[in-house]
Amino acid sequence: MILRFWGVRGSIAVPGLDTSRYGGNTSCVELTAPGVASLVFDCGTGARALGRALLARPERELHLLFSHFHMDHVFGFPFFAPIFAPSFETTVSAPAFHPDGAKDRLARYLNGVFHPLRLPEVPGHINYDAIRPARPFERGPWEIVGFALNHPGGACAYRATMDTPSGRRSVAYVTDTAPLSRPGEGIAGGGLPTGRESQFIDFLRGADVVVFDTMFTLPEYLEKMTWGHSYPEYAVAVCDAADVKTLYLFHHAPDATDADLDMLGEYWAGHTRVRVRVAREGQEVNLEG
Ligand SMILES: [Zn+2]
Ligand SMILES: [Zn+2]
């Protein structure tokens, strides 16, 4: 089982000399395994390169899961090659009450105004499915469950588990979200988790890898508490409590330069419970190594 980061940035793509090592593309993460259809979390600008890579592989099926429909998570959708390949079958899943929930939202973007193409004109086969956070579902061999996050308009985390030749492996994709407790309360306050945090910790418990929105520093979070993003200390505290093996800090701020992200990685390198890494575009994580 391999995790690949195709886009690790939050809010807006930031190509440039200052971001060339960690990458400037927005959220797109792939979870794959030999001979099975990949899971793709979000379709930010990183999805363009992923789409080209998918076309070069033999599989003709994939499962696309949206955390939510803010632009940094959907901008790459009409530039994602599989949806233009008639041989490809894509299943789009997102939290909704009706299977057409995701379709309706994507159709507001691909409507001839914000993009020249209208969604019904897309030539590939796209199926839509509505999922409910906390209600498990399956996609091929992947066992998946969602968790409702703390973000304006809502967002959904996903945990995907699969039996591999090396044993059972589990990855959680957690973006975009503010802490689930207020400053000074629960895990954020250095105390016992609140009720909602306990559910969150159960959701993440024992995961091999957690990819977590840490766009803000703690002072930035305190200034922008309603914006719906976390900070590294919170992600680390939650993952420590959940006995997660490796945490990837993700959804980097547009202003975070390569030097800033190097410093962030160095700061957390010595943390002894969960292993903390900074997600980098193009990075491949082998969960069976
Ligand atoms: Zn975002
Ligand atoms: Zn968002």
- Looking at residue 209, its pLDDT comes to 98
Mean pLDDT of 201-208: 98
pLDDT, one tens digit per residue, over 163-180 is: 999 999 999 999 999 999
> Which residue segments constitute the domains of the chain, with CATH numbers given?
2-279 (3.60.15.10)
Ligand closest in space to the Cα of 42? 1
Res 221 pLDDT > 80: yes
pLDDT surpassing 80 at residue 20:
yes
Q: Evaluate if pTM is beyond 0.85.
A: yes
The DSSP symbol for 9 reads B
Provide the pLDDT for residue 143: 98
Q: How far apart are CA 91 and CA 99, in angstroms?
A: 11
Among all bound ligands, the one having the nearest atom to the CA of 252 is 1
Q: State residue 97's pLDDT score.
A: 86
Nearest ligand (C-alpha, residue 72): 1
CA distance 274 to 239: 6
How much distance in Å is there from the Cα of 70 to the middle of ligand 2?
5
| CA of 265 relative to ligand 1 center, distance in Å | 21
Q: Give the distance (Å) from ligand 1 centre to CA of residue 70.
A: 6
Rounded-to-integer distance, Cα 277 and Cα 289, Å:
17
Asked if pLDDT for residue 277 goes beyond 90, the answer is yes
CA of 267 to the centre of ligand 2 (A): 26
d(CA 190, CA 240) in angstroms, rounded, equals 12
Q: pLDDT averaged over the chain?
A: 96
Q: Residue 19 and residue 255: Cα distance in Å, rounded?
A: 9
Average pLDDT of the segment spanning 97-122: 94
At 45-104, the pLDDT tens digits run: 999 999 999 999 999 999 999 999 999 999 999 999 999 999 999 999 999 989 899 999
